[in-house]
Amino acid sequence: MRRARIGVLALQGDFAEHTAALREVGAQADPVKHPEDVAACDALVIPGGESTTIGRLCERFGVGDAIRDLHRRGAPLWGTCAGLILLAKEIVDSDQWRLGLLDAEVARNAFGRQVDSFEVDLPMQGVDDGPVRAVFIRAPYVTRVWGDTQVLATFEDKIVAVREHNLLGIAFHPELTDDRRVQQYFLSMLE
C-alpha cells in the first residue's frame, strides 16, 4: 500500500521545520510550491511565516486553487500561525488574500510583536498524555467560529486551535518543539 504524501507549502516561513517534524513520525513529507506538486499531495501543511507574504506568493505561484481543490477532495489541510490566518474565512480588519476555507475569524499578531513571543503547556482536545508545549511567535488567535468548527484548545480564554472536518488550524508552532503528538494528530486525519 502506498504511503500518504504530505506536502508542506514551501513559499516562505518554517516549512523546513514542519517537513523534518513530519518525517520524524514516519510521514512521507516534502516541500511543495507549484500547483502540480500541491495537487499530488494527500494532505498539506501551510506553515507559519508572514501571512501577507505567503498569500502574495500563493497568488504568484497559482497554488491557491490547487489548495482549494485538495480541500474539496477531502484531503487534510493544517495551517499553523500564518497558515491558520490563510485558512480562515475572515481576518479581523484585513482584506489580505486568503484561502477562505475555515469557518472562523482570526485576529493577526493578536498576542503581540516578536518580543512578546512565549511558550506554555497547553491541553489540546484529541491529543492524549498531557498538555502539548505551545510556542507562540507573533501569533494570531481565533476570535469566533461557526458552522461545524470545533475548538480544540484555548489559552487565556482565546481560541488557539480549531478543527472543521479536514481542516486543522493552530495558532502556535508544534514543529518547534520535540513533542510530535500534534503531527500524529494531523496524520490521523488521513484515516
- Residue 165 is among the residues annotated as catalytic for this protein: no
* Tally of CB atoms within 10 A around 109: 15
Active-site choice (18, 41, 71, 173): 173
Going by C-alpha positions, the residue among 58, 49, 61, 140 that lies closest to residue 99 is 58
- DSSP of 25-92: TT-EEEEE-SHHHHHT-SEEEE-SS-HHHHHHHHHHHT-HHHHHHHHHHT--EEEETHHHHHHEEEET
175 is catalytic: yes
For this structure, is 41 an active site residue?
no
Catalytic residue among 41, 58, 71, 81: 81
CA 155-80-74 angle, 5° bins: 115
Provide φ and ψ at 67, rounded to 5°.
-65, -45
Q: Which residue has the cell 512521507?
A: 28
* Locus of grid cell 490547487: 66
Residue from 18, 41, 164, 175 carrying the catalytic annotation: 175
Distant-in-sequence, close-in-space partners of 107: CB < 8 Å, separation ≥ 6: 91, 92, 140, 141, 142, 143
What Rg do the C-alpha atoms of the chain give, in angstroms?
A: 15
What are the residue numbers of the active site?
A: 81, 173, 175
